[in-house]
Structure 1
Amino acid sequence: MAEAATETDYSLANPDTLTKYKTAAGIAHKVLESVSGWLTDGAKIVELCEKGDKLLDEEIAKVYKGKKISKGIATPTTISPSSHVTPFTPLHSDAEDAGLTISAGELVKIQLGAQIDGFGAIVCDTVVVPSKDKKAEIEGRNADVLLATHYANELLLRLMVPPGLLASGTEEEKKKATSVRAPTQSQIISYIEKVAKAYGVAVVQHTTSWQFERNEIEGKKKIILSPSDGTKGEGTPEVGEIWGVEVGMSLGSGKIKELDKRSTLLRRTQVNYGLKRPSSRQILSEIVKKFGNFPFSLRQLDDERAGKVGVVESVRNGVLREYKPSAESDGSAVTRLFTTIAITKNGITRLAAPPSIDLEKIKSDKKIEDKEILEILERPLSKSTGTKKNKKKKKKVAKKEDEDSEDDDSDD
């Protein structure tokens, strides 16, 4: 009698899972760097998004060739103007949006992602569109909001490390550290708001971090910063989980308003409904085949104009979810960072993360003075692997000694 097929383990306990996440993240990083380099005064947003998606497709095609696994774009290239909160991806068939350009000195948000076998890695960075003097320092309010976003992101990541995970010392000290309760959602919100206050900015309403699962970027757990309508986050980050961590700051009130624009970014939900119109069923079939449950732009459909009509019934009946265009209510500039992380027994690994900012080039007369916040920011995100120590040792010892050292490390 044939043996029953074993169920595939898609958790982080399976090394292949982390490898797929890292492969997707590597693609996201490469494309983000390219798109950031394309930002110039007067560049059309729709053209930049198209180029980004084309590069995503090209890089995704290079990996896992011949393997029977799904792979594709986890989030299309979106480039959001200064005051936009929702990731923005315009259509050629919407003349007004198709003509939108970016300006030198403007804060724009670039978000994109790739997925391998349903394991998505998404990243977002806020970039100042360069002027002719690309090496110029960033000053004033732009500097304030960029620093606030950077430190709030670093703070939130450290607050997501499970208590005691990185503890050292005696067994008793480790046990005591592990017994500490993880910060509550209210405490997390309070900490992040202190960072915003230090720089005279506001947290963007409904900024949400989600637990990621296979084929799902809005899992069971979530952390909501600056909730305004009674919504609450739920769950605590734990070892073995993947999260998409978001931080958004505003130079205005932080309150958001919906824009009178078409929703061009959508994604499939878990709702099943018998669509009546043949055109609706045809478009949904294309969406499921191409994108699964990951976000997509109407621009990516075979027929953009037909897609605009074909998604209406699905949206009305909850089969597709719209990401409704929104912006800061008073028109002020907003920032966003989005990082895909893995929480392992060794701490937090940044899988897809915005590049580190050059703190020497961002000049602000404001700073964080709260001692508790500063103490949290000093905490490590992961256990030291000794890699740097070994690299220094290799510069000082002879080749034979270096080989012996490597052998010892591998035994450990």
Structure 2
Amino acid sequence: MAEAAAVDYTLANPDTITKYKVAGEISQKVLKEVAGWIKADASIVELCERGDQLLAEEVGKVYKGKKVLKGIGHCTTISPSAYVTPYTPLKSDTEEAAATLKEGEVVKIQLGAQIDGFCTIVCDNVIVGASEGEVTGREADLILATYYANELLLRLMVPPGLVAHGDEEEQKKAASKKAYTQSQITNMLEKVTKAYGCNLVESTTIWLFEHNEIESKKKIILAPGEGVRGEGLPEIGEVWGVEMGVSLGSGKVKNNGNRTTLHRRTATTYQLKRPTSRSLLSEVVKKFGTFPFSLRQLEDEKSAKVGVVECVRSGVLRQYEVVVEKDSSPVARLFSTVAITKNGMQRLAQPAALDLSKYKSDKKIEDEEILKILEQPIGKTSTKKNKKKKKKPAKKAAAGGAAEEEEESDEE
């Protein structure tokens, strides 16, 4: 018999980008809904459950009747003010199940959908109780620092010359430039965060995404801790999960000692001994594949807490430790899923556009090099008809005013 043709999972296959886009639309829609539920005294675990339910419902509406594996690519997590990592408490833990949101704290919502193994993750910040009116003081500094650092990071990740403008000579000059190194990227981002009296969160990691994989071989590590280093830079044809973490404190992190509830399956195989462990792994493989899940999503949460011990110890599951800001200062995080195409960077899934006019700060970015980079587009203007015109983020916006991000280019 002839061998079945290998499936092309790269961006060269139009079906791949379509599935990423569908997953991205779902992730963005659910993120917006969950953000609208944020209020003081709301139960964190209940918000997470509602978010997962909505994710499952929205994923269920697409690719009906087709043999396409689909589901939650990253369970809903709600991280309180000083929390750095995604947080999802358990109902069976009395103390954690009672955790609620507090007025004025900076909450991070992270979630994602996956279609046929193509996952899009998003994360956004919501200040509890600040849905109306202006945000001032240190909270405004934090949100603006995170926004501009994220916009700068995306532009620094675009391969040199990919979206160069001007005449042929100018474009050649841009293309001949070397890509920014990871240390250069960190240094430039620190100029942004320090302008607002903030710091990058230690070892914030940006990962290469692949089919059924959100932590592939290449990674960029911002403000790396001791003995930690990234490996590789973005290239055309790749999809990346881009995270930006900023703190009002030192940016240093520590484990807060809470039970780890977020896990994902690894490529490691091991003959598990306990029935509870084997049952848990079987359920994980069936429901979540290699994507992050919470123990609260499993049929028997209490049994899962027992079975997960051997799974983690043997390496078949990876646990995501609960990490917080070392001095308990508020932290903001953004997460976008982007594709690097021949026309530049395309945002497959991103947080909702920030209304910059709402955030009032007496601080601003004054570094001319940074301001110039922030004015650059991340993708080439589409030549197709009926496309909205781009809006460039004006220099004055980064210096304290307001501007909207440009429309995205088409990937084709």
TM-score range, shorter chain: over 0.9
State TM-score, norm by structure 1.
Answer: 0.92
Q: Which amino acid aligns with 2:37?
A: W
| Alpha-carbon distance in structure 1 between the residues aligned to 2:301 and 2:234 | 39
Partner of 1:118: 117
Can you list the C-alpha shifts for 1:269-305, whole angstroms capped at 9, x where unaligned?
1111111112211110110111011000000001000
Does residue 350 of structure 1 match 2:347? yes
Partner of 2:229: 232
SS at match of 1:311: helix
SS at match of 2:172: helix
Identity %: 63
In the TM superposition, what is the alpha-carbon distance from 1:168 to its structure 2 partner? 3.2
| Alpha-carbon distance in structure 2 between the residues aligned to 1:70 and 1:211 | 21
Whose radius of gyration is greater, 1 or 2? Answer: 1
Partner of 2:219: 222
Partner of 1:68: 67
The within-5 A match list for 1:319-338 is: 319-338=316-335
Cα 1:388–1:374 shift into 2, 3 Å: farther
Q: Which moved more, 1:172-181 or 1:377-386?
A: 172-181
Partner of 1:88: 87
Partner of 2:23: 24
Aligned-pair Cα RMSD in Å: 1.5
Partner of 2:402: none
Does residue 44 of structure 1 match 2:72? no
| Alpha-carbon distance in structure 1 between the residues aligned to 2:167 and 2:29 | 43
In the TM superposition, what is the alpha-carbon distance from 1:177 to its structure 2 partner? 2.0
Partner of 1:144: 141
Cα 1:264–1:193 shift into 2, 3 Å: same
| Alpha-carbon distance in structure 1 between the residues aligned to 2:61 and 2:233 | 36
In the TM superposition, what is the alpha-carbon distance from 1:4 to its structure 2 partner? 3.4
| Alpha-carbon distance in structure 2 between the residues aligned to 1:293 and 1:4 | 26
Unpaired segments ≥5 residues, structure 1: 393-411
| Alpha-carbon distance in structure 2 between the residues aligned to 1:259 and 1:355 | 30
| Alpha-carbon distance in structure 1 between the residues aligned to 2:315 and 2:226 | 21
Partner of residue 249 from structure 1, selected from 224, 246, 250: 246
Can you list the C-alpha shifts for 1:369-397, whole angstroms capped at 9, x where unaligned?
011111110111100114688668xxxxx
In the TM superposition, what is the alpha-carbon distance from 1:67 to its structure 2 partner? 1.2
Partner of residue 301 from structure 1, selected from 298, 303, 317: 298
SS at match of 1:35: helix
Cα 1:232–1:390 shift into 2, 3 Å: closer
Partner of residue 311 from structure 1, selected from 308, 312, 321: 308
Partner of residue 269 from structure 1, selected from 229, 250, 266: 266
Can you list the C-alpha shifts for 1:45-91, whole angstroms capped at 9, x where unaligned?
00000000000010011111111121110100000000001100011
Partner of 2:380: 383
Partner of 1:202: 199
Unpaired segments ≥5 residues, structure 2: 390-411
Partner of 2:395: none
Q: Which amino acid aligns with 1:18?
A: I
State TM-score, norm by structure 2.
Answer: 0.92
